[in-house]
Amino acid sequence: MTQRLPDSQPPPETPFEQLLSEAAQWRVRLEDDAATDSDHRAFKRWLAISDSHRRAWREIGETWEALGGAQLPGARAALERSHAEERVDARRLLRRTVIGLAILAVLPAAGLWVSNTSLAYWLADYRSATGERRTVKLEDGSVLDMNTATAVDLHFDSARRRIALRRGEVHLRVAADPDRPLEITTEAGAVRALGTRFSVRRLDTPAAGSGSRGAAMRVAVYESHVRLCVASGESCRKLRRGEQARATAAGIAPTEAMAKHSQPAWLQDRMDVLNQPVIDVLEELARYHPGILHYDKQALAGLRVSATLPLDDIPRALDALALALPIRIQAYGRWLLVVSRSEIEAAATVP
Amino acid sequence: MLPCDSASNARLEALYLSHHAWLRGWLWRRLGCPERAADFAHETFFRVLTRPGTETLEQPRAFLTCIATHLLIDDSRRARIERAWRETQAAVGQVAVPSAEQVVEFIDALERIARLLQGLGERPRKALLMYRLDGMSQADIAAELGVSVSMVKKYVAQGLVHCHRALCNAKHNSIAAL
């Protein structure tokens, strides 16, 4: 007889719809910069519950991918505009079928909505997606290279050229204009230049306690010179070609000399590593990976590496690291990459 | 794949012969252009004939106009997206001009995304686009939308589930069309 006792029945399965919703929430939570190790551990426990959980996670991952492939400048602006027009079209259709003053009252509101999503509104911002590198030619002839996950706002007028770096890292070839100095600003400070080439990267860390960020930036000069001032304006320093410095709102760290480089390596989708801790390298690579790059800091501590790594293909960069180090790379789809210390480390030394 | 047995082929041929001219006329009236009407009629019949079960349609003309209307809507959405994007590009003045193939591919991608987003609420849509297309941080999106970060998370997750459903429906339809 195969009659089952009531208490031996498996617990009722969670509806798949609900699992999809949970998977989406996990995806969003783990994508956030603020995701912690305990988040990742909790996620692994969730993923381990059943095949259905893993299927939900995979399908949400596929949906995520399906929404990609269009991270070009102007993509969102184009979608928002066409969406707004579609709404207005729908209203026109409504007006045709329904006669009444009430509908006329809707139209000015619809017009307002459209102008809010107008070109000028969206064009104030340039953004690059994670793993994307973009080059934008500005109206003054300056050329702005945006590294991965970068966002800038432009404020150009007849008196000045100001670029607010909201996120990420830029390299700028400034077109000379003696009447309009160019300034790149973050909450930490401002870099002012006339005609030169330099890069600025935000190095924000979550400030302890408060919800605001601990704003910091690093400036590197590749041609001519720039003037770096902290946000309060209390301290300024001239940085020359081949020099770099880190600044917070509180002050500027001592100037350092850069290795001989005429431009940042990321402009060529490359990262040059010289005897650096592998966890620092992984942290840097993670900036370019649109999914999750997970690694155990404790297990990997003490490992150092020298290499030239591709930034446009993170799985390949990790494979290159795995050739040189006792580490193991596991890929769960394209989005989740896990780096762990290889258990067969001893094998490497055995002939 | 077109069905191979001769009986259903004969029915499809009859469907085509008895309704094609009518459908072209219907489209002509709507589009005001005989060439485009012919193109759309062709495309409509292609969709209908490559779908299983269409040999036994009870109301073929209603079915044909339904498919044709969907094609017209898709087409106008695509045209809108393409126009919006070209205007945006003209104003941005990018260094690298994409090739014609790249533009087509890109408009395809945008159209696919627009279709997935259909019916999604205003804020989840915005949050999802800012997050996925622009790579904005959750904190920045929260600031831009004037909501909390946890609300942004909710919006994006909600958007993902919505798009998943849309993607599933699209898959089912395309499987049915095979």
pLDDT tens digits for range A81-111? 888 777 665 555 444 433 333 333 333 333 3
Report whether pLDDT(A296) > 60: yes
Q: What is the mean pLDDT of residues A155-168?
A: 87
Nearest to B64 by CA among B42, B34, B32: B42
Identify which has the larger pLDDT, B67 or B159: B159
What residues of chain B lie within 8 A of the CB of A66, using their CB? Answer: 112-113, 116, 163, 167
Domain match, A156 and A213 both: yes
Query: Do A59 and A81 have their domain in common?
Result: no
Please report whether residue A263 resides in a domain: no
Q: Which of residues 46-85 of A touch B (CB under 8 A)?
A: 59-60, 62-64, 66-83, 85
CB contact under 8 A, B135 and A135: no
Would you call A95 an interface residue with chain B, using a CB distance cutoff of 8 Å? no
Tokens 């769960």: give the residue: A332
Across the A/B interface, how many CB contacts are shorter than 8 Å? 152
Same domain, A171 and A90: no
Structural domain contains residue A6: no
Contact yes or no for B157 and A33 at CB 8 A: no
Pair A303, A224 in one domain: no
DSSP, residue by residue, A326-350: SEEEEEETTTEEEEEE-TTGGGGT-
Query: Which residues of A fall within a CB distance of 8 Å from B93?
Result: 137, 139
Asked whether the beta carbons of residue B135 and residue A74 sit closer than 8 angstroms, the reply is no
User: What value of ipTM does the predicted structure carry?
Assistant: 0.71
C-beta atoms of B164 and A59 within 8 A: yes
Residues forming beta bridges with residue A213, ordered by sequence position? A206
Contacts of B50 (CB under 8 A, 6+ apart): B1, B2, B177, B178
Structure tokens at B157: 């997750």
CA distance A163 to chain B (A): 15
Chain A residue at shortest CA distance from B156: A28
Same domain, A303 and A236: no
User: Which chain A residues contact residue B163 at CB under 8 A?
Assistant: 63, 66-67
- In this structure, are A252 and A141 located in the same domain? yes
Average pLDDT of the residues in A218-244 = 91
Sheet with A189-193, strands from edge to edge, namely A125-127, A151-156, A161-167, A182-185, A189-193, A225-230, A236-240
A163 plus A232 within the same structural domain: yes
Which residue ranges form the domains of chain B, and what is each CATH number? 1-97 (no CATH), 118-178 (1.10.10.10)
Q: Is residue A195 part of a domain?
A: yes
Q: Which residue of B has its CA nearest to A33?
A: B137
For A304, the 3-state DSSP assignment is strand
pLDDT reported for residue B50:
66
- Residues in A touching B109 (Cβ below 8 Å): 69-70
Q: Do B163 and A62 make contact, defined as CB atoms within 8 angstroms?
A: no
Residue A29's φ and ψ, nearest 5 degrees, are -65, -40
A149 close contact with B: CB closer than 8 A: yes
CB A293 within 8 A of CB A314: yes
Let me know: does B57 contact B63? Beta carbons within 8 Å.
yes
Concatenated DSSP letters for B63-118?
HHHHHHHHHHHHHHHHHHHHHHHHHHHHHH--SSPPPHHHHHHHHHHHHHHHHHHT
Contact with chain B for residue A210, Cβ under 8 A: no
Do A184 and A249 share a domain, yes or no? yes
Q: Worst-scoring range by mean pLDDT, A22-26, A174-178, A188-192, A193-197?
A: A193-197
Residues A37 and A103 in one domain: no
Contact of A324 with A305, CB cutoff 8 Å: yes
pLDDT tens digits for range A29-74: 988 777 888 988 999 999 999 999 999 999 999 898 888 777 777 7
Structural domain span for residue A251 = 133-257
Contacts of residue A277, defined as CB under 8 A and 6 or more positions apart, other chains included, come to A301, A302, A303, A304
Number of residues written out for chain B: 178
Contact yes or no for A83 and B114 at CB 8 A = yes
User: A296: domain CATH number?
Assistant: 3.55.50.30
Q: Is residue A55 part of a domain?
A: yes
A264 is a domain residue: no
* A326, A311 Cβ separation under 8 angstroms: no
- Of all residues in chain A, the percent with pLDDT exceeding 70 is 76
Q: Is the pLDDT of residue B10 over 80?
A: no
Q: Do A188 and A234 lie in a common domain?
A: yes
Q: Are residues A166 and A217 in the same domain?
A: yes
Distance from CA of B39 to the nearest CA of A (A): 24
A137 and A222 together in one domain: yes
Q: Kindly state whether residue A5 falls inside one of the protein's structural domains.
A: no
Total of domains in chain A: 4
Contact status of A274 with chain B (Cβ, < 8 Å): no
What's the pLDDT at A295?
83
Whether this prediction's pTM lies above 0.90 is answered by no
Query: What mean pLDDT do residues B87-111 have?
Result: 72
CB A299 within 8 A of CB A287: no
Mutation test of the interface with chain A: which of B113, B118, B160, B174, choosing the one with the most A Cβ atoms within 10 A? B160
Query: Quick one: tokens of A50?
Result: 């059943």
Q: Which residue of A has its CA nearest to B81?
A: A82
